[in-house]
Structure 1
Amino acid sequence: MQDLINKKHLFKLSFVYSFLIIILICIPAYFYMQSEIQSYKYNQASQLEQQGLNIQRAIYDFNNSKSDIFYFPKSFSFNAYVYDKNDKIIYSTANKILNGNNAILKKYSLNENRLKAKTLLLIKELNFKKIYLKISLLTISMGIFVFISAYIILKQTITPYKKANSYLDRFFNDAMHEIKTPLGILQLNLELLEEKDKKAKEIKRSLNAVKTLLLTYEDIEYMMKQKRVSYTKEIVDFTIFLKQRVDMFESLAASKKMKLKREIKDNIFLEINRVELQRIIDNTISNAIKYSDESSEVIIRLNSNNEQIIFSVEDFGKGIKDTTKIFNRYHREESIKGGFGIGLNIVKNICEKNNIKIDVKSKLKEGSTFIYLFS
């Protein structure tokens, strides 16, 4: 799938590059076409002049001839009309006179002759189809040549970067896999130690640090896999799942002497991917804890009406300076709080993918509320 995306991107770049080159080619091509048209008109006018001379010579030769039959010099390229002194047609090679807008014409006054012809009119119909076809084929050929050249050049150019990216991808995948196992073992053993000695602050701090690392790990893992993995939807018991995630954050909240207040309605079900729902919940609650003051509380609500499921997290911390920027990747309200600034960007992408509406309400020094509307 990734190779297919890369090929499509490569074709798109090649097409755009070729299109721009063709636009530039069209300027000299236009002047070349005008030059060809003028050359064609001059050539046809010369041939018309030669035909006029041939016809006049034939008429004058007929004057000196003893024959009673005049053989008119015909040409499939020109239409000829012979008039008498009263401007009546004596002879013509066509039924009607062509419009002069799309033809060149030449009129000759004739001397006295046996045909009693006074005027000769020659008309040549102009046809630019061959010129237009020639220019079109030339432009298309150059466009195809430029496209193929651009594709080959771009492909050769990105190959080293593609290989490097592939190596980095494989390295990070292997590294993430190797990191997850020891983190899981650390968490499990620290939880067992905490059960044995619930008063040991060192164990609690270590366990909270591991949980924070796991949250960061899961964000990075999701960000790396989101373009390669298809996250299928399933029916999730939102109530139970949310309670489980809140339980996980209790120790992190306790480290700041904070209270997680639950207002969670029972029996709320939602069709969504479990991993994506976890990223929304975890990032929102972890940010609420991170940016709240000590000894404050975070209110976690879940309820529903006939149309929507509403999940919200309210904190009473410092508030957000600019709510329009918080979903941008790598944006952090306070650098001293740590983090990579990718959590809320992941949340935004998941919400856009699943048509989940986000509403953020915040006041400085009063707190913030993140509201998610699941339709």
Structure 2
Amino acid sequence: MINNKLELKYVVIQVTISLLIAFIPIYFYIDATIKNQNIKDKLDLQNYANQVASIIENFEKQNKDIFYYPRSNIFFSSIFDENKKEIFHSNTPLELFDEDFQSFNDKFCYKEYLSSNILGASFLIVCKNIDYSEVIYNALILLLIVSFFIFLLSFFVIKQSIEPYKKLNIYLDEFLKDAMHELKTPIGVARINIDILSMRLKNDKNILRVKSALKNMTIIYEDLEYYMQQHEVKEIKAVIDFSLFLEKRVEFFNDLAMSRNILFHKNIESNIEINFNEIELYRLVDNNLSNAIKYSKNDSNIYVSLQKEQNEFKLSFKDEGVGIKDTSTIFERYYRGDNITGGFGIGLSIVKNICKKNKIKIEVESKENVGSTFRYIFRNN
């Protein structure tokens, strides 16, 4: 679905650019066609004016009592005497003008000088309605044909161009899925065995470091798994005891914090329930706890708070770490606070998407070398 949308996006961009380029010759075609139409109209007006003038001149030679003024469905005309007073008009009254040709809002006219005649007419004005419908019709047909061929050409060119990248993307996705599937079992086995060892060798610093490293690997693994399958995550929500959930997640990260002599301080109000997707709640809480530890200084404190206030409740994570210089970019995908602490830079991007999806307000306060506070405001539904 995403690849199809991407293809369509590039096709639309390519077609738009191509049409803008194609519009230049089409514009000149329309301009030239209108000029040709004007020339043709002038010739038609002159020919019709000559016919009317010839009929007027020949009337006297024919010795007839009644003069039948020529009429047309296309042209309409008026004759004027030498004092520029209208003698007769065929359809609607017309105005006499000085130039040979004159354009009005809706018509194009020609003035013919008449020789002496029995009607006393000195001037003949012949007009026809301006009609560019055929020009516009031809231009639209041309534009549609050009657009159609440009679209087809763009579609096939772009499709062929991005096909190798699509195959590579599919290959990488499959590779990551297979690799993650293979990693899941050894990580699980290692965690079980390190838990057994930690029970036998209590307070062993080496065991604690290995345990912390495995938990870090678990968080990274779960982030990647969620990131790759987020479009497949089912919209299943359940009522969760958020207070108890948060207590357990802090406990899970306690070993990781202890390895750097970091202390958790909890201010968690009890019996706060939330209707939420459990997988998404794991990612939101775990990423914040992981980052708080990751960017904290050794021998520092982390404050975790969950408090209910009227129709909303606030979840916050405060550390005494390195701080953030620019908070505007931290939620961008692949952003990393530094190149030392590791990670793929997708954790906060995942958090932002979850918050956007569930209409959770995010507030960030940070000061370099002092620490950061991440606050999430949940509306009580």
Q: Which residue of 2 aligns with 1:48?
A: 45
Q: Could you say if the C-alpha distance between residues 366 and 15 of structure 1 is closer, same or farther in structure 2, counting changes exceeding 3 Å? A: closer
Structure 1: runs of 5 or more not aligned? none
- Which among 134, 153, 157 is matched to residue 130 of structure 1? 134
Deviates most, 209-218 or 70-79: 70-79
Give, in angstroms, the shift of residue 84 of structure 1: 5.0
Query: Is 1:171 paired with 2:175?
Result: yes
Q: Could you say if the C-alpha distance between residues 196 and 352 of structure 1 is closer, same or farther in structure 2, counting changes exceeding 3 Å? A: same
Q: 1:9 & 1:219 partners in 2: Cα distance?
A: 24
Q: Could you say if the C-alpha distance between residues 214 and 90 of structure 1 is closer, same or farther in structure 2, counting changes exceeding 3 Å? A: same
Q: Could you say if the C-alpha distance between residues 11 and 239 of structure 1 is closer, same or farther in structure 2, counting changes exceeding 3 Å? A: same
Q: 2:331 & 2:5 partners in 1: Cα distance?
A: 29
Tell me the alpha carbon deviations over residues 279-298 of structure 1, each in whole angstroms, 9 at most, x when there is no partner.
Answer: 12112212222233333332
Q: How well do the aligned residues superpose, as a CA RMSD in angstroms?
A: 2.5
Q: Could you say if the C-alpha distance between residues 26 and 199 of structure 1 is closer, same or farther in structure 2, counting changes exceeding 3 Å? A: closer
Partner amino acid for 1:165? Answer: N
Q: Could you say if the C-alpha distance between residues 69 and 177 of structure 1 is closer, same or farther in structure 2, counting changes exceeding 3 Å? A: same
Q: 2:283 & 2:80 partners in 1: Cα distance?
A: 94
Q: 1:335 & 1:35 partners in 2: Cα distance?
A: 63
Partner amino acid for 2:241? Answer: D
Tell me the alpha carbon deviations over residues 176-221 of structure 1, each in whole angstroms, 9 at most, x when there is no partner.
Answer: 1111122111111221222233254433332222111111111111
Query: Is 1:25 paired with 2:29?
Result: no
Q: Which residue of 1 aligns with 2:275?
A: 271
Q: Could you say if the C-alpha distance between residues 94 and 177 of structure 1 is closer, same or farther in structure 2, counting changes exceeding 3 Å? A: same
Query: Is 1:366 paired with 2:370?
Result: yes
Q: 1:54 & 1:246 partners in 2: Cα distance?
A: 101
Deviates most, 281-290 or 226-235: 226-235
Q: 1:371 & 1:19 partners in 2: Cα distance?
A: 43
Q: 2:332 & 2:121 partners in 1: Cα distance?
A: 89
Q: Which residue of 1 aligns with 2:98?
A: none
Structure 2 SS opposite 1:339 = coil
- Which among 61, 80, 86 is matched to residue 58 of structure 2? 61
Deviates most, 76-85 or 234-243: 76-85
Contact 1:321 1:333 in 2 (8 A): no
Structure 2: runs of 5 or more not aligned? 96-101
- Which among 196, 199, 203 is matched to residue 200 of structure 2? 196
Deviates most, 98-107 or 255-264: 98-107
Give, in angstroms, the shift of residue 368 of structure 1: 2.7
With the length of structure 2 as denominator, give the TM-score of the two structures. Answer: 0.87
Q: Which residue of 2 aligns with 1:150?
A: 154
Tell me the alpha carbon deviations over residues 71-100 of structure 1, each in whole angstroms, 9 at most, x when there is no partner.
Answer: 555443222333456666555431433895
- Which among 273, 290, 301 is matched to residue 286 of structure 1? 290
1:278-357 counterparts in 2 under 5 A?
A: 278-357=282-361
Contact 2:69 2:90 in 1 (8 A): no
Partner amino acid for 2:42? Answer: A
Give, in angstroms, the shift of residue 70 of structure 1: 4.5
Deviates most, 340-349 or 303-312: 340-349
Give, in angstroms, the shift of residue 155 of structure 1: 1.8
Tell me the alpha carbon deviations over residues 131-178 of structure 1, each in whole angstroms, 9 at most, x when there is no partner.
Answer: 122212212221222122212221222222212211211111111111
Q: Which runs of 4+ in 1 moved over 6 A?
A: none
Contact 2:78 2:93 in 1 (8 A): no
Deviates most, 109-118 or 294-303: 109-118
Contact 1:360 1:369 in 2 (8 A): yes
Q: 2:121 & 2:264 partners in 1: Cα distance?
A: 113
Contact 2:239 2:276 in 1 (8 A): yes
Deviates most, 134-143 or 169-178: 134-143
Partner amino acid for 2:192? Answer: L
Q: 2:40 & 2:153 partners in 1: Cα distance?
A: 38
Q: Which residue of 1 aligns with 2:248?
A: 244
With the length of structure 1 as denominator, give the TM-score of the two structures. Answer: 0.89
Structure 2 SS opposite 1:319 = coil
Q: Could you say if the C-alpha distance between residues 216 and 49 of structure 1 is closer, same or farther in structure 2, counting changes exceeding 3 Å? A: same
Deviates most, 67-76 or 220-229: 67-76
Give, in angstroms, the shift of residue 13 of structure 1: 2.5
Q: Which residue of 2 aligns with 1:15?
A: 12
Q: 1:236 & 1:142 partners in 2: Cα distance?
A: 59
Partner amino acid for 1:300? Answer: V
- Which among 87, 91, 94 is matched to residue 94 of structure 1? 91
Structure 2 SS opposite 1:113 = coil
Structure 1 SS opposite 2:94 = coil
Identical aligned residues as a percent: 38
Residue-pair matches, total: 372
